[in-house]
A and B are shown apart, each in its own frame.
Chain A
Amino acid sequence: MSAAEEVVAEGHEAVEAVPKRAMTLGTGTSVVVLLLLLAVPLFAKNFIIFQLTQLLYLGLAVLALNILTGGSGQFSLGQSAFYAIGAYVTAVLMEQFNVNYALCLPIAGVVCFGAGFLFGQPALRLSGVYLALATFALATAMPQLLKLNFLEHWTGGVQGLVVTKPDAPFGLPMSQDMWLYYFTLVVTLAIYLFSVNLLRSRSGRAFMAIRDNEIAASAMGVNVALYKTLAFGVSAGITGVAGGLSAIAVQFVAPDSFTITLAIQLFLGMVVGGVGWLPGSIVGAAFIIFVPNLAEGISKGLSGAVFGVLLFLVIYLVPHGARQVAIIGQQLAGKLRKN
């Protein structure tokens, strides 16, 4: 309802099932952002490039949650579990079985898709806060499962696993960090395009119909159970790829890396970026990476409190997150053009 009203209010032609504007950036903005993402590493230090890589893969994880929550309307506080599975699958394959890192990622994605799809089955019976709680349980259990004795041979137990960073291929004159950044960028872009198209497709419309009104959706012939679990699976699969990228970039996986805090951070990133607005995922990821550093710079002892205040301000001033900021910016630009 509200989406349709917005579109009508903005003076567009008849109701479009998925308003493009609401989901993506305009062509001009996209090109500028892409050029920036391509060019910045050429002028930045390795440490900055590493942070940008972090930004990309965390953005990917936030995007995955966005598809689930913004797309199909299901809550999840358990994304860290799928992230952990992806990271561990990648790390174990790379270190114990010497599989090429580029091959590990799709495997991690498929494994996590399976895990997410399976988890989606029982989750079908739950909705709203109960689903959030069930996924929360998954996130809490994961670090302990990773410590299990019979897996220790592969996972390294509590000690974790050290991952070797790949060199740039074909003798390209690039540092490892820069190569990994561009590699991550390509993966992220591919998944971003896939996600945008997914949400615009028949499946995407089904997701959103379920989000808006489950009963109406099923009355229209949407297979609610299938699409709900599918959303879980896709989301988990993308999260798994993000986790795999994180394992390669950080060069280390350990159970302590994937606690419930990570799941909450991802959730926070989604809200700050704007629920349902895919480009906002990167903004959300930037928030969860850089704002804690900023807060620490303001006060070391009270970094948590400063972070809380900043978060509160964001929620209070722009409840729809980066999406709202973008819309305001667009309106301002439109007014300027008219003048």
Chain B
Amino acid sequence: MTAVRFQVAAVSAVVALCTAMSSPALAQKKYDSGASDTEIKIGNIMPYSGPASAYAVIGRTEQAYFDKINAEGGINGRKIKFISYDDAYSPPKTVEQARKLVESDGVLLIFGSLGTSTNGAIRKYMNEKQVPQLFVASGASKWNDPKQYPWTMGWQPSYASEARIYAKYIMKEKPDAKIGVLYQNDDFGKDYLKGLHDGLGAKASMIVLEEAYDTSEPAVDEHVVKLKAAGADVLISITTPKFAAQAIKKAAETNWHPMHIISNVSASVGGVLEPAGLEISQGILSATYAKDGSDPQWNGDEGMKRFYLFLAKFAPKANKLDAGVVFGYGAAQTMVKVLQMCGDDLTRENIMKQAASLKDFEPDTLLPGIKINTAPDNFAPIEQLQMMRFKGKSWELFGDVISSELSH
């Protein structure tokens, strides 16, 4: 008996010693709820049903990307568990799902949730709970507000950034322009308009007329005629697809040929330019930040080769023409990058710290030269775009990548 007891004592002494020796290594491993030695739980909320369900492909692509990371061994040996719920694009449901993710599933963070009002509904909750709400899939500029909401960060260029880039382009190419603005009377349109004013700065007087339309109006013809009558020679069309097509048609009908810029939201060839008429759409300008998955010019591109390989292996059913696939891939890649940077310190605080210190990160699906940069006072990861011109049957990129920052 005594011998056995001695053995037990010896074993426990050895165990104690081991623990003591390994403790410096252990001390560096820090976890908040949702992270462990083997797993990282990431929450997500997507409109899998309801009016915005076309965007759900973003969530499915992100799931596939995390499957890929897991198949390759995970992040520092930890597998990602991606828990994605449906909110049907209804803000109260988003609140319920976010609370379920945080309080019931115990996720480490919520990543890439889609929508402006849906994310707006949970922003206060997430910041009160101090759970990261990372890479929100919405173009509103309000996600870049680190002072008031230090736990919320966007990803894509905001509408305001895009508008600032158009302002820069116009001031450079056509310094004596008379700008006519057609904008949608909602948060999307107003965000844009504010960006345009900021971008023009002292030259805001270049704008000769701003015409607002409501989405309930059947057509924007009347507004286009007014803009023409005001003598504008640049038309900025801050419109959603249906209205963008109407504006293109009406301008052509009235034989008005201004420098026509349409928002990235409506830069779809199949959804806007073809219905409006390819011939009258020649020369229209817009801007973009991501590669077009269907454009053959990227076939030789290293990043896109990885993207196509990923699609073939992990998301064979995904439609590469769908911009949501390119988007989801890029966002998920950014998320993985942040988690890699966190190392073994998987606390919520460190995640926000790392997310705010991305330096020149280039996801595979962004245009060459567009780099993700963040800082403690800059929660807008993508702020560059490149201008493009419609020629023949597709968009042609031209000029340099332009930064939307005002000082440059």
Cβ distance B250 to chain A, nearest Cβ, rounded Å = 24
Closest residue to B123 on the A side, CB-wise? A162
Interface 0/1 of A35-67, CB less than 8 Å to B:
000000000011110110010000000000000
A52 to B95, CA, bound (A): 14
Q: Is the CB of A251 within 8 A of B125?
A: yes
Closest residue to B124 on the A side, CB-wise? A162
A149 to B216, CA, bound (A): 13
Q: Is the CB of B96 within 8 A of A254?
A: no
Q: Is the CB of B86 within 8 A of A257?
A: no
**Count of A residues near B, CB < 8 Å?**
33
Q: A50-B99, A160-B121, A300-B84 are in contact. Are A250 and B90 (CB under 8 A)?
A: no
Q: Is the CB of A149 within 8 A of B185?
A: yes
A292 to B51, CA, bound (A): 16
Interface 0/1 of B109-126, CB less than 8 Å to A:
000000011101111110
A159 at the interface (CB under 8 A from B): yes
Q: Chain A contacts of B84 at CB under 8 A?
A: 300
Majority DSSP secondary structure for residues of B touching A:
helix
Cβ distance A57 to chain B, nearest Cβ, rounded Å = 10
From B51, B91, B125, B186, give the contact of A147 (CB < 8 A): B186
A256 to B90, CA, bound (A): 6
A-contacting residues, B30-73, CB 8 Å: 48-51
Q: Is the CB of B186 within 8 A of A51?
A: no
A-contacting residues, B87-101, CB 8 Å: 88-92, 95-96, 99-100
Closest residue to A87 on the B side, CB-wise? B92
Cβ distance A111 to chain B, nearest Cβ, rounded Å = 21
Q: Is the CB of B117 within 8 A of A300?
A: no
Q: Is the CB of B48 within 8 A of A300?
A: yes
Q: Is the CB of B89 within 8 A of A256?
A: yes
Cβ distance B106 to chain A, nearest Cβ, rounded Å = 10
Q: A160-B91, A300-B86, A303-B86 are in contact. Are A254 and B117 (CB under 8 A)?
A: yes
A324 at the interface (CB under 8 A from B): no
B-contacting residues, A11-40, CB 8 Å: none
Q: Chain B contacts of A329 at CB under 8 A?
A: none
B279 at the interface (CB under 8 A from A): no
Q: A251-B124, A296-B86, A303-B86 are in contact. Are A47 and B103 (CB under 8 A)?
A: yes
Q: Is the CB of B186 within 8 A of A246?
A: no
B85 at the interface (CB under 8 A from A): yes
Q: Is the CB of B186 within 8 A of A250?
A: no
Q: Is the CB of B117 within 8 A of A47?
A: no
Interface 0/1 of A168-199, CB less than 8 Å to B:
00000000000000000000000000000000
Cβ distance A175 to chain B, nearest Cβ, rounded Å = 11
Q: Is the CB of A251 within 8 A of B88?
A: no
Q: A47-B99, A296-B86 are in contact. Are A246 and B92 (CB under 8 A)?
A: yes
A221 at the interface (CB under 8 A from B): no
Q: Chain A contacts of B48 at CB under 8 A?
A: 296, 300-301, 303
Q: A149-B185, A300-B84 are in contact. Are A250 and B100 (CB under 8 A)?
A: no
Q: Is the CB of A252 within 8 A of B120?
A: yes
A21 to B130, CA, bound (A): 50
A257 to B344, CA, bound (A): 40
B104 at the interface (CB under 8 A from A): yes
A256 to B117, CA, bound (A): 7
From A257, A300, A304, give the contact of B91 (CB < 8 A): A257
Q: Chain A contacts of B51 at CB under 8 A?
A: 259
Taking A251-B95, A252-B92, A300-B48 as known contacts, 18 extra A-B pairs with beta carbons closer than 8 A to each other, sorted by chain A number, are A45-B103, A46-B103, A47-B99, A50-B99, A147-B186, A149-B185, A158-B186, A160-B121, A250-B95, A252-B124, A254-B120, A254-B121, A255-B117, A261-B50, A261-B90, A289-B96, A296-B85, A303-B49
In the complex, the 3 A-B pairs of residues with the closest C-beta atoms, listed nearest first: A47-B103, A252-B121, A254-B117
